[in-house]
């Protein structure tokens, strides 16, 4: 009978077990931080060490905005080159590992390796065959209505034709990056199998900007892959606020210089105002050659030099190389009664 517990003892054991569970739960939920205070809300997110996010959201927004400008310029250049409307727009802008980018590409495709003179490393520009062959067909005079997309690498002639498109794309890319840094892009090589190209380790972080290209009744994709270690030297310039501010200053300075340069060639009318007075209409009607108009201004007083009708300077009348001339004395001040 001594081993039988009373009801009060059973209740005490149950309460002790429940209290220990609460203490364990509180211990597991504790988060320690130097900047966090007790009671502050906590945001816990899973982190995948295989896909580290090395580019901030502001920098990703700046990259997307920059390449939206590139897509507009590239679309305009292609429309003029192909004599038809070509729409180019940014579809995605994300960061991933290089192996994930390569695994999502078709084979064969147009895989261009690009180098920039101011950066170290290579950039990839992949253009889908779904849009490449309609462009080639358009360049050769076709309508691409019943076009067959072959599953083979491009021939030398096709590669030469499509190089006219990629060169215009690199020119538009250089123009878009001019607000951050002056870069000149060149194609180093062209491959058809992306699996054979290893510009960075498979787990290296890359920024992939995806584009959609539409040509009449055809559409395709284009991907620009920028490894992080290539643009790491300019990442500080890609912060949204500093990039937009710098771009605004560059545009403002360029506009001011252009306006000043254009104004230097503008023609202006300069006149010398001898004196001013008022007369009646009857006097004006009765005037004839030889009449004298008297004013209150002394004969030796300086005359007023007007530029496009605006009184700007005081000058005196003289002669220079046999012609009547005006020599500027000084600017008109607020105290001058002219």
Name the DSSP class of 293: -
Q: Are 217 and 275 in a shared domain?
A: no
For residue 141, what pLDDT is reported?
84
Q: Are 91 and 228 in a shared domain?
A: yes
For residue 43, what pLDDT is reported?
66
Tell me the Cα Rg of the chain.
Answer: 38
Q: Is 30 part of a structural domain of the chain?
A: no
* DSSP states of 302-338: PEEEEETTEEEEEEEEEEETTEEEEEEEEE--TT---
Q: Is 49 part of a structural domain of the chain?
A: no
Q: Are 69 and 215 in a shared domain?
A: yes
Q: Are 146 and 183 in a shared domain?
A: yes
> Would you say residue 32 has pLDDT above 70?
no
Q: Alpha-carbon distance 119 to 184, whole Å?
A: 10
Question: Residues 159-169: pLDDT tens digits?
Answer: 899 889 999 99
Find the angle CA(214)-CA(178)-CA(125) to the nearest 5 degrees: 40
Q: Is 114 part of a structural domain of the chain?
A: yes
Q: Are 169 and 239 in a shared domain?
A: yes
Q: Alpha-carbon distance 227 to 230, whole Å?
A: 5
Q: Are 246 and 323 in a shared domain?
A: no
CATH of the domain at 183: 3.40.1550.10
- pLDDT confidence of 212, banded at 50, 70, 90? very high
Question: Residues 242-299: pLDDT tens digits?
Answer: 555 445 555 667 778 888 887 887 888 888 888 888 888 988 898 899 888 888 888 7
How many other C-beta atoms lie within 10 A of the C-beta of residue 121? 15
Q: Is 234 part of a structural domain of the chain?
A: yes
- pLDDT confidence of 31, banded at 50, 70, 90? low
Q: Are 247 and 277 in a shared domain?
A: no
For residue 47, what pLDDT is reported?
61
Name the DSSP class of 224: E
316 vs 54, 131, 226, 326, CA distance in Å? 71, 74, 68, 6
Q: Domain residues for 68?
A: 57-256
Q: Are 236 and 94 in a shared domain?
A: yes
Closest CA to 209 of 96, 48, 57, 75: 96
Q: Are 326 and 224 in a shared domain?
A: no
Question: Residues 168-184: pLDDT tens digits?
Answer: 999 999 988 888 888 88
Q: Are 216 and 239 in a shared domain?
A: yes
Q: Is 262 part of a structural domain of the chain?
A: no
How many other C-beta atoms lie within 10 A of the C-beta of residue 244? 13
Mean pLDDT throughout 92-103? 89
Q: Is 322 part of a structural domain of the chain?
A: yes
Mean pLDDT throughout 95-105? 88
> Would you say residue 236 has pLDDT above 90?
no
State the average pLDDT for the chain. 81
From 256, 278, 311, give the residue that closes a domain: 256
Q: Are 149 and 121 in a shared domain?
A: yes
pTM of the model: 0.57
Total number of domains in the chain: 2
Give the lowest-confidence range in 37-46, 98-107, 204-213, 240-249: 240-249
For residue 33, what pLDDT is reported?
59
């Amino acid at each position: 009978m001594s081993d039988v517990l009373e009801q009060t003892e059973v209740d005490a054991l149950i309460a002790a077990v429940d209290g220990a569970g609460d203490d364990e739960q509180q211990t597991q939920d504790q988060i320690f931080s130097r900047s966090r205070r007790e009671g502050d809300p906590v945001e816990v997110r899973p982190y995948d060490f295989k896909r580290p996010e090395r580019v901030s959201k502001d920098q990703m927004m700046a990259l997307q905005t920059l390449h939206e400008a590139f897509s507009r310029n590239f679309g305009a250049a292609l429309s003029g080159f192909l004599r038809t409307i070509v729409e180019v727009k940014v579809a995605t802008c994300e960061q991933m590992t290089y192996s994930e980018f390569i695994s999502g590409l078709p084979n064969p495709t147009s895989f261009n390796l690009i180098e920039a003179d101011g950066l170290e490393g290579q950039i990839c520009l992949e253009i889908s065959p779904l849009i490449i062959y309609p462009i080639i067909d358009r360049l050769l005079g076709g309508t691409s209505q019943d076009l067959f997309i072959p599953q083979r690498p491009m021939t030398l002639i096709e590669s030469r034709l499509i190089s006219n498109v990629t060169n215009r794309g690199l020119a538009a890319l250089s123009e878009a990056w001019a607000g951050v840094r002056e870069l000149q892009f060149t194609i180093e090589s062209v491959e058809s199998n992306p699996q054979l190209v290893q510009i960075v380790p498979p787990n290296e972080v890359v920024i992939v900007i995806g584009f959609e290209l539409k040509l009449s009744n055809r559409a395709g994709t284009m991907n620009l892959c920028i490894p992080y270690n290539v643009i790491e030297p300019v990442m500080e310039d890609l912060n949204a606020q500093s990039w937009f501010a710098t771009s605004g200053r560059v545009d403002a300075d360029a506009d001011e210089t252009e306006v000043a340069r254009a104004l230097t060639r503008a023609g202006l009318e300069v006149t010398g105002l001898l004196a001013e007075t008022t007369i009646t209409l009857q006097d004006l009607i009765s005037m004839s050659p030889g009449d004298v108009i008297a004013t209150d201004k002394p004969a030796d007083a300086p005359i007023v030099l007007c530029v496009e009708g605006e009184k700007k300077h005081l000058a005196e009348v003289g002669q220079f190389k046999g012609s009547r001339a005006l020599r500027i004395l000084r600017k008109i001040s607020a105290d001058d009664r002219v």
